[in-house]
Chains A and B, each alone.
Chain A
Amino acid sequence: MPPILKVEDLAVHFPTRGGLLGGRRSLKAVDGVDLDLKPGECLGLVGESGCGKSTLALTILGLQAPTRGHITLDGHKVGAGMDRMERARIAQMVFQDPYSSLNPRQTVRASLTAPLRLHGVTNRGEIDDRVTGMLRQVGLRPDQAERYPHEFSGGQRQRIGIARALILQPKIVVLDEPVSALDVSIRAQIINLLLELKERLGLSYLMISHDLGVVEHMSDRVAVMYLGRIVETGPWEAIFTQPRHPYTRGLIAAIPDPFRRSPAIKISGEIPNPLDPPSGCSFHPRCPFCRDICRAPSVPVLEDVGEDHAVRCRRHAELPPP
């Protein structure tokens, strides 16, 4: 089956003024990313702040212009002949913070009706049916449509955010940290809802999250980003039980384990300045397995290691098993 979302060699560079010698430099937020999202799949995109995962998501949704590369949504090349309206019908986004992503002065009905009208649904009966149906899908009562966002709890507001994203019946939904702003006891409700909706409506998800527990639970495949590049990608079992890249292994080991004190592998230091990325493998200054070869100037390639699993590390074959 062809992918419903295809990203090829995508780069987003932000020009900055005034380097050390007054020259122009660019911040390479996304630097040569290839991604495939298959229909019905949830692809988890993992990485720490500054790795470029949010820029990548915004670019896919057309909210940020790419410097180079191609994005294909449901067979349509983005940029050439695809307008905003068409894109909005294919791909939508659920934001992290349902408090700031809903208009506080609009009722739920107004928030859900506006996109329908904009896209040419004018029959009042049809609008009402679709709003009512959508609210039921996300676990809200139709009579709650006349209320304003502040009258809802955080979890309910995220349900409204999901309803708003789904009202145009998109095929792809980008989930940007969909549960991290919610109370811990509410998260399971939203995670279960998202998984049910994916099955029921045949959706495809690109989910950004820093919570590896959520990513493991929800994803079919996982891509790990570091400084603008994908450093490892594969099926969820491979990423979580046989991670190959030292960064992936360090990320997983960094999650506090309730039953074990000390992680097997530790990453030291912080993400380097993206304006001045390290030579060679950009992870080498923090990597416990770094050797001279890792500093060699060219960027390591994303190497296929079998079964849909790829890793960008020159030493992956020599590393001790995880």
Chain B
Amino acid sequence: MSSAPLLEVENLRIDLAVGGNRFAAVENVSFSIGRGETYGLVGESGCGKSITALGLIGLLRPPLSFGGGTIRFDGREIQNLPPAAMRAMRGKRIAMIFQEPMTALNPVSPVGRQIAEMFVLHEGVSWREAERRAVEALASVRVPAPERRVKDYPHQLSGGMRQRVMIAIALACNPDLLLADEPTTALDVTVQAEILDLIRDLSAAKGTAVLMISHDLGLIANMCRRVGVMYAGRIVEERVAEEVFRAPSHPYTSGLVASLPLLGARSRQGRHRLKEISGVVPPVTAFPEGCRFNPRCQRATDICRVNDPAITPLRNGGVRCHHHE
């Protein structure tokens, strides 16, 4: 069995330009995703998880820019692909869905046509054939009465239905990798559950690998086998999903897990005071020296303020901390 991962990211760096200075918004980020695997990136706003996804498919725009590292997709380095080659790959082999489908869909075009466009652009079929396949694609994302819905404009659909349309567009050409950036954050919880089921079922059926990005640790653990926890532009811990909750190793991860009012916790153990993480998430322009979590960390010592910790391998993962558990 060929065990080469589908996607290998090594030492990815993404720069943010601010007034003539460059700041590394993402630095030394390495991870890999196997064929058909669902991998999660979790972190708070500003940690760099979304721009990591954009960086993978060449969608960084000023003030953000690719700053270095290698991105190997299906054995080929793609970080320096010319724009035309990247465009041909985007949508066909790597597709992306976003948090707010209304802004990602074209408001003046029927949704069926936006799906059909994928078949025309990437597979060269006729518009007539493409529109027929668009109905099938809508049916596959469980939109009721797809033959009528293809004629609808995005504003005529609910948020959940729009996200289904986005998924239909993204999966139209059977991509190898789906980048899903907070795909359910704007949705109600019952609709979120359906969309997550849909992503899970379709990716399993088609063998699509998924990079799932969210601020919701519970969601990521539920959806993914392996998880990378990001903080201030770094992956600080990479683990098998359940272990992130059961035995977090990095002080940021364990702080985050202890700070969450998890559903069911009060019924099981009574109400306890939630653990607080002091301080605030630092902005890109003021990432601390040494370990980037040190000003908020209860385990921090002198070395943490000076030396940036390297990754210590753990069983099924690794952690970036001088005093990890």
Q: Bound pair: A and B? A: yes
Chain A residues within 8 Å of B, Cβ to Cβ: 48-49, 153-155, 183-189, 191-192, 210-214, 216-218, 236-237, 240-241, 250-261, 263, 266-268, 270-271, 286
B100 at interface (Cβ–Cβ under 8 A)? Answer: no
Q: How far is the CB of B232 from chain A (nearest CB, A)?
A: 12
Q: List 17 A-B contacts (CB under 8 A).
A: A48-B189, A48-B190, A49-B188, A183-B44, A185-B255, A185-B277, A185-B281, A191-B261, A191-B274, A211-B261, A216-B266, A240-B264, A240-B267, A255-B218, A256-B222, A259-B221, A270-B161
A188 touches B190 (CB 8 A): no
Alpha-carbon separation in the docked complex, A252 to B189 (Å)? 9
Compute how far the CA of A259 lies from the CA of B276 in the bound complex, rounded to whole angstroms: 23
Specify which of A189, A241, A250, A254 is in contact with B276 (CB 8 Å cutoff): A189
* Interface pair A153/B275, CB less than 8 Å apart: no
Q: Report the Cα distance A153→B280, complex, angstroms.
A: 7
Distance between Cα atoms of A216 and B222 in the complex (Å): 20
- B23 interface residue (CB < 8 Å to A): no
Q: Are A184 and B259 in contact (CB under 8 A)?
A: yes
Partner of B192, one of A155, A192, A254, A261: A254
Q: Is the CB of A184 within 8 A of B260?
A: yes
Band of interface residues on B: 35 or more
Please name all residues of chain B whose beta carbon is closer than 8 Å to the beta carbon of A49 when the two chains form the complex.
188
Partner of B263, one of A48, A255, A271: A255
**Residues of B bordering A, CB below 8 Å:** 44-45, 158, 160-161, 188-194, 196-197, 215-219, 221-223, 241-242, 244-245, 252, 255-256, 259-267, 271, 273-277, 280-281
Extra contacts, 17 of them, besides A240-B264, A263-B193 (Cβ < 8 A), are A183-B281, A184-B215, A187-B259, A188-B259, A188-B274, A191-B261, A211-B261, A212-B189, A216-B264, A216-B265, A237-B267, A250-B190, A256-B222, A258-B242, A261-B222, A266-B194, A270-B190
Residues of B within 8 A of A217 (CB): 261, 265-266, 271, 274
Grouping DSSP codes into helix (H, G, I), strand (E, B) and loop, the B interface class, with mixed when no group exceeds half, is helix
Task: Please tell me if the beta carbons of A188 and B191 are within 8 angstroms of each other in the complex.
Answer: no
- Which B residues lie within 8 Å of A260 (CB)? 222
Query: How far does the alpha carbon of A258 sit from the alpha carbon of B45 in the complex, in Å?
Result: 21
The one of B194, B260, B273, B281 that contacts A192, using a Cβ cutoff of 8 Å = B273
Q: Which residues of B contact A213 (CB under 8 A)?
A: 260-263, 265
Which residue of B has the minimal Cβ distance to A47?
B188
Q: Is the interface of A mostly helix, strand, loop or mixed?
A: helix
* A212 contacts across to B, CB distance below 8 A: 189, 263
Report B35 CB to chain A, min CB distance, Å: 21
Closest B residue to A241 using CB positions: B267
Chain A residues in 8 Å Cβ range of B266: 216-217, 236, 240
A-chain residues with CB within 8 Å of residue B265 when the two chains form the complex: 213, 216-217
Give the docked Cα–Cα distance between A250 and B252 (Å): 32
A212 to B266, CA, bound (A): 12
Q: Which residues of B contact A155 (CB under 8 A)?
A: 280
* Residue in B44, B160, B242, B244 whose beta carbon sits within 8 Å of that of A185 in the complex: B44
A270 touching B242, Cβ below 8 Å:
no
Nearest-neighbor residue (CB-CB) of B278 within chain A: A189
Complex: A213 Cα to B266 Cα, angstroms: 9
For residue B276, give the distance in angstroms from its CB to the closest CB of chain A. 5
5 closest A-B pairs by beta carbon, nearest first, are A258-B221, A217-B261, A256-B222, A188-B259, A188-B274
CB pair B218–A192 under 8 Å, yes or no, is no
A153 and B223 CA atoms in complex are apart in Å by 31
Which chain B residues lie closer than 8 Å to A210 at the CB level? 188-189
B190 touches A267 (CB 8 A): yes
Residue among A210, A270, A286 with max Cβ neighbours from chain B (10 Å)? A270
Instruction: List B contacts of A188 (CB < 8 A).
Output: 259-261, 274-277
Taking A210-B188, A259-B245 as contacts, is the C-beta distance between A185 and B193 under 8 angstroms?
A: no
CB neighbours (8 Å) of B264 from chain A are 216, 240
Q: Knowing A185-B277, A185-B281 are in contact, say whether A256-B261 is a contact too (CB < 8 A).
A: no
B contact residues around A236 at 8 Å (CB): 266
A237: nearest chain-B partner, CB-CB? B267
The answer to whether A184 and B267 touch across the interface, beta carbons within 8 angstroms, is no
Q: List, in ascending order, chain A residues with CB within 8 A of B45's CB.
A: 183
Query: A192 touching B274 by the CB < 8 A rule?
Result: yes
A267 to B267, CA, bound (A): 23
Question: Given the known A-B contacts A251-B190, A254-B193, A256-B196, are A185 and B259 also in contact in the complex, defined by CB atoms under 8 Å?
Answer: yes
Please report the C-alpha to C-alpha distance between residue A49 and residue B159 in the assembled complex, in whole angstroms: 11
Q: In the bound complex, do residue B267 and residue A258 qualify as a contact, i.e. CB atoms below 8 Å apart?
A: no
Contacts of A48 in B (CB 8 A): 188-191
